[in-house]
Structure 1
Amino acid sequence: MSKTVGTPFHIPQFTIADYTSFFTAGALCATLTHGAMTPIDVVKTRIQVDPTLIRHSLLNAGRKIVAAEGPSALLTGFGPTAVGYFIQGGGKFAGYEFWKKNFVSIAGDQETAVKYRTAIYLGASSVGEFFADILLTPLEATRIHLVSERGYATGLVTGFARLAREGGIGQMYAGFLPILCKQIPYAIGQFTVNEFCHEAVLRSLTEEKKLALQRSKSAMFGVNLGSGIIAGFAAAILSQPADTLLSQINKGHGPSGSMASRLVVLARQAGFRGLFAGLGPRMIMTAGLVSGQFLIYDEIKHALGAPSGLEIHKDE
């Protein structure tokens, strides 16, 4: 980099209105994409928890579910999915912007921030996701019960009420540890890989081509889409084992005891192949989710007049 080591640099001072815009954009992009992916998520979850479907492809498993239960079965859990990822998405995206700015402030100067940018991305995505998952966990538990237990409830309200009545706080947060194990690697893949994909593109261009790229909406769309797809693949692979265990835990599988011991037993029972059951359809789903979220997030931020996020890419 051409800047002098230790030289302070400008860190944007986001206002409450800015973070409200980040939350709104994150909430809408997450609920729109996760809601649209509900049919794929239903099939993926059923492949994970139903022994009769574990060896089937996404298409074949979907056909069997529709044949046995009707097309409406593919929309099971839409309510908790939409509401859960509305609050989780808002918390995650706003949290990432908040913690990235604060970790950059701790670094103190541009050279240090760029040098430790990987740690900043990992830390910001992890901490932001942790707090977002506190909001998500009860709704995710409700969704999995609705998907995996036919007739469990008629929808979000009745499913959430039954879960709260029969299991209380303990059952509602039974999946908190596995959901952290799933969502934190997911967020790391989503944000960190996306950041480095953008950096790789920009570092490969001359200054003239960078300006041309920034002026071309179609070219930026292509970069954002490609980066989001790659980040989605990474997020799916990193979080797949915990996603499988989360479905098993919320289904009630595994021995009694501490959550950590249950996870170890279930992981041993599933084996490598079982932990990655449903990875193919989940990679397709996640690539669509992540790329769609970044594209929608940027558009909504622009519409709301929100500032751009803080960038700490290495220039050369």
Structure 2
Amino acid sequence: MTSKAAPIAIPQFTSKDYSSFFLAGALCCTITHVAMTPLDVVKTRIQIDPAYRKLNMLTGTRHVIATEGPKALLTGFGPTAVGYLVQGGAKFAGYEYWKKKSVEFAGSQEAAVKYRTAIYLGSASVAEFFADILLTPLEATRIRLVSNRSYATGLVTGFTRLAREGGIRELYAGFLPIICKQIPYAIGQFTVNEYCHEIAFRSMSEETRRSLSSTNKFALQLGSGIIAGFAAAILSHPADTLLSQINKGHGPTGSMSSRLAALAREAGFRGLFAGLGPRMVMTAGLVSGQFLMYGAIKEALGAPPGLEIHKESSAAI
């Protein structure tokens, strides 16, 4: 007779715990995205402005400063701060929630470990989908401000004008491309980070792992975050390019899917990956910074660790 698989020890997160997850995710995402605003301005210009198409991050930054002044590098600051405040909270808290629910559905440690890739992919995807409902109108406003210098003076005027002139339809015109961008991004961010930690932990004894110094923990989190950031950038970049084009009003009329297909054909492979280098640098900084801050803020708030389902351990991290 074969023995039954042992049940997995699942933490019972409370509403206070999820509030802490939300706050930690909100703060880590809005802080990192706001810090990267200048890079994002130049990256977006490279994607959608022919005058920037042959420039790199350094020459593009110089061109922005020379033609518009240093203040232009902070274009879209307001929508970025608010958008990623709500999106980051929903994404990180949602990932914790859906991963826990998925492990409960699996029913045992053996099943959870066996299907951990599906759990990571599914949890990241569902959490990001709902987070993007909150993000899309603010991202549309940000891109409109960056791509059209005279569109509005900031978040409130830009959002109001976009809502007044286009309504809900225009605010959510980029929802399909944004989920095509953000879901692969979240998959790369969470799944690759989980596997980087798992690979590192496999090379350690349990005693070594439990006695890791603060410096070693920091190095592990930083390295895993950088690798996850590179993966997130590569997976999501084509849709990021199309999102910028859609929000600037490019492409033929028709359904969103037909517009995306037409823009993709027009851009070609090289066009879809225009600006990837700067975005990889930006995303590596974003993702690694987010994971470092997320863990630190959770600890400061007294929140419990997340549920770990790595292959060789069922302990919480």
Shorter-chain TM-score bucket reads: over 0.9
In structure 2, give the amino acid aligned to 1:283: M
Equivalent of 1:246 in 240, 243, 247: 243
State the one-letter code of the partner of 2:253.
S
1:122·1:188 contact (CA, 8 Å) conserved in 2?
yes
TM-score, scaled relative to structure 1: 0.97
In 2, Cα distance between the equivalents of 1:5 and 1:140?
49
Give the structure 2 partner of residue 61 of structure 1. Answer: 60
Which residue of structure 2 lines up, in the alignment, with residue 278 of structure 1? 275
Residues 221-254 of structure 1: CA deviation (Å, up to 9, x unaligned): 0000000000000000000000000000000000
Match of 1:15 in 2: 14
Counterpart of 2:108 in structure 1 is 109
Measure, in 1, the Cα distance between the counterparts of 2:144 and 2:176.
Answer: 17
Is 1:260 matched up with 2:280?
A: no
- The equivalent of 1:202 in structure 2 is 201
Equivalent in the alignment of 2:149: 150
Partner Cα distance (1:211, 1:135) in 2: 39
Which structure 2 residues correspond to residues 1-316 of structure 1 after superposition, within 5 A? 6-213=5-212, 216-315=213-312
Deviations 1:10-59 (CA, angstroms, capped at 9, x unpaired): 11110000000000000000000000000000000000000111111011
- Secondary structure (helix, strand or coil) at the match of 2:190 reads helix
Inter-partner Cα distance in structure 1 for 2:256 and 2:168: 15
Q: State whether residues 77 and 144 of structure 1, in contact with CA within 8 Å, keep that contact through their aligned partners in structure 2.
A: yes
Give the conservation status (yes or no) of the 8 Å contact 1:53–1:61: yes
Q: What runs of 5+ residues in structure 2 fail to find an aligned partner?
A: none
**CA–CA distance in 2 between the matches of 1:102 and 1:147?**
39
1:6 positional shift: 1.4
Does the aligned pair in 2 maintain the 1:232–1:289 contact within 8 Å? yes
Structure 1 residues 201-224: Cα deviation after superposition (integer angstroms, max 9, x where no partner): 0001122221222xx111100000
1:71-130 CA distances to partner (integer Å, 9 max, x unpaired)?
000000000000000000000000000000000000000000000000000000000000
1:119 is matched by which residue type in structure 2? Answer: A
Stretch deviating more after TM superposition (75-84 or 56-65):
56-65
129-138 vs 62-71, which deviates more?
62-71
For 2:307, what is the secondary structure of its paired residue?
coil
Write out the 4+ residue segments of structure 1 that deviate beyond 6 Å after TM superposition: none
| Alpha-carbon separation, structure 2, partners of 1:66 and 1:142 | 22
Structure 1 contact 5–111 (Cα < 8 Å) conserved: no
1:232–1:291 contact (8 Å) kept in structure 2: yes
Q: Aligned partners of 2:294 and 2:195: how far apart in 1?
A: 18
Unpaired runs of at least 5, structure 1: none
Is the partner of 1:272 in helix, strand or coil?
Answer: helix
Matches of 1:222 and 1:87, distance apart in 2: 28
Distance 1:189 1:9 in 2: 26
Distance in 2 of aligned mates of 1:136 and 1:207: 41
Range that drifts further, 131-140 or 60-69 = 60-69
Question: How far 1:5 sits from its partner (Å)?
Answer: 5.3
**Distance across 1 between alignment mates of 2:184 and 2:203:** 28
Name the CA distance, whole Å, in 2 between partners of 1:278 and 1:140: 18
3-state secondary structure, aligned to 2:50: coil
Where 2:21 maps in the other structure, the secondary structure is helix
